[in-house]
């Protein structure tokens, strides 16, 4: 795609002042514009390592999590992020700070906190073991399985206070729709949580009979168009697994 001249940018396009500070190209307001967004999971915490649900509980990175964030920094150091938005939980904030530190390209990149980027709420299950949860949901008739539809997976809740994948994606989507008009033609970074990445994958890249596993410091690259269509461009550190057979 050839880069348009500045004259092609319509003054009616909202919030262009910040966008014009980047070298990325963008199109006239009569054409579709895009924002590319990297959505990453934070590094490891002790509760991750121990298999305990965190949800909104504010747990810091452990030493392994700090190392994972440093490794991700080496991958992201050449990506021209215009800004970073992070969950207000310390594990995501710390990961964001490490990832954009020590790179000349990110020297003036600002980091903004927002509660809409928090992990899925796990309600009374926060602080409980994932092993106990697996045992509990194995007894429920609504637990996702090989035959589950996308709607069933997105709406699954094993407790009334728990946030479903569908609810988590709606929260993320509303946040992106709030801020994306500041970032046409730019690339931005969101520092968030495993359940949020899962919500993106099940919403945009659902595959019947398969479930997604999201590693610490995994990331998904999506494109959002000016007509607010979302598409997955790339991902790293996420894997598809088959549901177990039930006899």
- Residues catalogued as catalytic: 42, 119
Burial class, 207, CB count within 10 angstroms (exposed 0-12 / middle 13-18 / buried 19+): exposed
DSSP 117: G
Q: Are the C-beta atoms of residues 212 and 240 closer than 8 Å to each other? A: yes
Place of tokens 């728990």: 162
48 is in an annotated binding site: yes
Q: Which among 81, 232, 98 is positioned nearest to 169, based on CA atoms?
A: 232
Residue 41 labelled as part of a binding site:
yes
Q: Does 234 count as an annotated binding residue?
A: no
Strand order in the sheet with 210-225: 111-114, 81-87, 187-192, 34-41, 210-225, 230-242
Ligand-binding annotation for 161, yes or no, is no
Say whether 212 counts as a known binding-site residue: no
- 42 labeled part of a ligand binding site: yes
Is 94 within any annotated ligand binding site?
A: no
Tally of CA atoms within 13 A in the half-sphere of 116 that contains its CB: 14
- Cα–Cα distance for residue pair 99/56, rounded to 1 Å: 22
**8 Å CB contact between 179 and 113:** no
The verdict on whether residue 44 carries a ligand-binding annotation is: yes
Do the annotations mark residue 21 as ligand-binding? no
Distance of alpha carbon 33 from alpha carbon 96, whole angstroms: 26
Residues forming beta bridges with residue 36, ordered by sequence position: 187, 223
How are beta strands 34-41 and 111-114 bridged, if at all? unpaired
Residues that constitute the known binding site for substrate: 41-48, 91
Residues that constitute the known binding site: 41-48, 91
């Amino acid at each position: 795609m050839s880069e348009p001249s500045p004259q092609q940018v319509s003054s009616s396009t909202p919030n262009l002042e910040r966008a014009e500070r980047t070298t990325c190209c963008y199109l006239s307001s009569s054409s579709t514009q895009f924002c590319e967004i990297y959505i990453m999971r934070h590094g490891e915490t002790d509760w991750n390592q121990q298999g305990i649900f965190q949800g909104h509980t504010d747990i810091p990175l452990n030493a392994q999590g700090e190392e994972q964030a440093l490794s991700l920094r080496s991958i992201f150091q050449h990506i021209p992020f215009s800004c970073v938005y992070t969950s207000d939980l310390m594990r995501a904030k710390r990961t964001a700070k490490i990832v954009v530190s020590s790179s000349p390209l990110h020297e003036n990149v600002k980091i903004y906190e927002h509660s809409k980027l928090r992990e899925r709420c796990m309600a009374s299950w926060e602080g409980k073991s994932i092993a106990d949860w697996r045992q509990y949901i194995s007894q429920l008739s609504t637990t996702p399985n090989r035959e589950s539809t996308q709607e069933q997976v997105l709406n699954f809740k094993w407790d009334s206070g728990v946030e479903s994948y569908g609810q988590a994606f709606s929260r993320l989507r509303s946040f992106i729709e709030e801020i994306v008009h500041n970032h046409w033609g730019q690339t931005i970074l969101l520092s968030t949580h495993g359940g949020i990445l899962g919500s993106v994958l099940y919403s945009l890249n659902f595959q019947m009979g398969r479930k997604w596993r999201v590693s610490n410091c995994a990331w998904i690259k999506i494109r959002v168009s000016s007509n607010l269509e979302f598409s997955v461009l790339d991902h790293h550190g996420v894997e598809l697994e088959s549901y177990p057979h039930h006899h």
